[in-house]
Chain A
Amino acid sequence: MEEKELLPHLFRTEYRKLVAVLCYLFGIEHVEIAEDIASDTFLAAAETWGMKGVPENPVAWLYTVAKNRTKNHLKRNSLFEQKVASEIRYSAEKESEIEIDMSPRNITDSQLAMIFAVCNPLIPADSQVALALNLLCGFGVQEIADAFLLNKEVVYKRIQRAKEKLKEGKIAITQPTVTEISERLEMVLTTIYLLYSEGYYSISQNTTLRKELCAEAMRLNYLLMENELTDRPEVSALLSLMCFHSSRFEARTNQRGEMVLYEDQDESLWDRELIQRGAYYLSRASTGEKLSRYHLEAGIAYWHTHKQDSKEKWTHILDIYNHLLAIEYSPVAALNRIYALAKVSGKQTAIAEAQHLSLTSNHFYHSLLGNLYTGINEAQAVAHYEEAIRLAHSESDKAILFRNIARLQDNVG
């Protein structure tokens, strides 16, 4: 790797490991100290490497410096020591024997423990993703603010509040037991999927940053798969889902940064390798008895990797939506099911069913009806699209709806 990219790259891969290992050692009480030591280690690297060049084994250098920083801190800060010494997992006889274990095994254990601590229901939903990005992925406040188009102060407060919650709740950073994994894996997966969705659906124009969020979510997911305790079928299913979605990343925006709807996407821009990986993880997920929502969503996403419309494709999709709604109702899934129904049984049937949904204040509902009435009753279609525009929040959603109306008017005129 070029020297120019080395430090940022190492920061991305190693900062979060340092934070995880140190938090695992200190406990959630002292998360800020862990972050300080990790940041300081990298600033020291910038200084020292700037003077004498990059050492032969930069990762080992970082670990050594972080270890020394930590030891010094433990020794010099007696207050910290008194509070922490008893909590520290390493039962060192003498303080000088405290070992900071940077072995691959301990790094993985620490990261897993951190994932389960951070994805905790105590944390308000709006802070959850910010905290995960900050503590699990090593994103700074400014980067998170950029990703979510939020003010830096807002992000900072959210992260602080989330950390306070973990401290108040005395959340232990420990290896989750089998029972805990069963109870909490769902929350962990929800957070990962939320993180992924923030990247995938974000209205931010910063494509690089959005891709990074998606990649981070997939990386965390992969960490779960590497541990035999958390390597459950639904975990593979979520990764499969994310692979299928990601395969369309390039195709779903045009060069002006506008959204391109599925039907209008250039299939040659789909990433075949990711589709194959998605299929592999989906087959890997096909064990056990539990059919999670991720299995079903991955199944739907799988069928969407076949661009060509076919009776078979839409019958499968409709069938899976029926399953999904039975497990967990959501307006989005209900509307998508209607769309699939239209493909299988025709628009009239779909319109009749759509009218049973009480989603009239949802802009997707109107945009779906706009689509369904197209070719049946153009005036109705336009009226629904207009209502959808009135209810839509994002400019990119509105732009698509305006385009749809324009298309209709072209057809009529």
Chain B
Amino acid sequence: MDEFLLVFRRDFKNREMQPSPEQLQEHFEKWHAWYDKMAREDRIVLRRRWDGEGLVVDAQKTVLNGPYAEIKETIGGAVIIRATGYEEAAELAKAVPILEFGGTVEIRKAL
């Protein structure tokens, strides 16, 4: 088993798919279920809440507020999980609910 960092990002432009209260509830339950599944399969190496602000230092050594590289993006959480390889990590990432509202999951393997 290797360890993988999964970083969740959301596309900021989601008003066109503004969730209904019911969708939001479903979304919440899916997150809950996803983390539960990871826990049941003993895949979680590190799960934490991350500060929503953070900093970015760019090439000019300017320190910017906010952790995102792109203006339109907003960062969600990040988690470190165990998987047999990139392939399995990607399969697990496909079930991450962030994808429902135009988000992405970035996967990095720990060496």
Give the interface of A toward B (CB within 8 A): 4-5, 7-9, 11-12, 32, 35-36, 39-40, 42-52, 65, 68-69, 71-73, 75-77, 140-143, 156
Is B65 in contact with chain A by the CB < 8 A criterion?
Answer: yes
Is B109 in contact with chain A by the CB < 8 A criterion?
Answer: no
Residue of B21, B97, B101 ringed by the most chain A CB atoms within 10 A = B21
Task: Kindly provide the distance from the CB of A77 to the nearest chain B CB, expressed in whole angstroms.
Answer: 5
With contact pairs A50-B35, A76-B66 given, residues A12 and B15 touching in the complex (Cβ less than 8 Å):
no
What's the Cα separation between A68 and B34 when bound, in Å?
26
Number of interface residues of B (CB under 8 A): 38
Residues of chain A contacted by B13 (CB below 8 angstroms) = 36
Residues of chain A contacted by B19 (CB below 8 angstroms) = 11, 39, 42-43, 140
Residue of A11, A49, A69, A71 ringed by the most chain B CB atoms within 10 A = A11
Task: Kindly provide the distance from the CB of A41 to the nearest chain B CB, expressed in whole angstroms.
Answer: 10
What's the Cα separation between A344 and B71 when bound, in Å?
70
With contact pairs A65-B52, A68-B52, A77-B71 given, residues A141 and B98 touching in the complex (Cβ less than 8 Å):
no
Contact indicator per residue, chain B 63-98, by CB within 8 Å of chain A (1) or not (0): 011101001001011010000000000000000011
B contacts with A: majority SS: mixed
The contact of B28 among A39, A50, A52, by CB within 8 Å, is A50
What's the Cα separation between A65 and B76 when bound, in Å?
12
On whether the beta carbons of B52 and A11 are closer than 8 Å, the reply is: no
The contact of B18 among A5, A12, A35, A46, by CB within 8 Å, is A35
The contact of A35 among B15, B21, B28, B98, by CB within 8 Å, is B15
Residue of A48, A68, A72, A76 ringed by the most chain B CB atoms within 10 A = A72
What's the Cα separation between A43 and B15 when bound, in Å?
11
Residues of chain B contacted by A4 (CB below 8 angstroms) = 25
Is B20 in contact with chain A by the CB < 8 A criterion?
Answer: yes
What's the Cα separation between A40 and B12 when bound, in Å?
7
What's the Cα separation between A33 and B16 when bound, in Å?
11
With contact pairs A40-B74, A50-B31, A69-B74 given, residues A8 and B52 touching in the complex (Cβ less than 8 Å):
no
What's the Cα separation between A43 and B22 when bound, in Å?
12
The contact of A46 among B31, B66, B74, B79, by CB within 8 Å, is B31
Residues of chain A contacted by B22 (CB below 8 angstroms) = 8
On whether the beta carbons of B49 and A40 are closer than 8 Å, the reply is: no
Which 4 A-B residue pairings sit nearest by Cβ, starting from the closest? Answer: A50-B31, A8-B21, A72-B66, A46-B28
On whether the beta carbons of A8 and B31 are closer than 8 Å, the reply is: no
Residues of chain B contacted by A9 (CB below 8 angstroms) = 21
Contact indicator per residue, chain B 42-66, by CB within 8 Å of chain A (1) or not (0): 0000010100110000000000111
Is B108 in contact with chain A by the CB < 8 A criterion?
Answer: no
On whether the beta carbons of A8 and B24 are closer than 8 Å, the reply is: yes
The contact of A42 among B24, B32, B65, B79, by CB within 8 Å, is B24
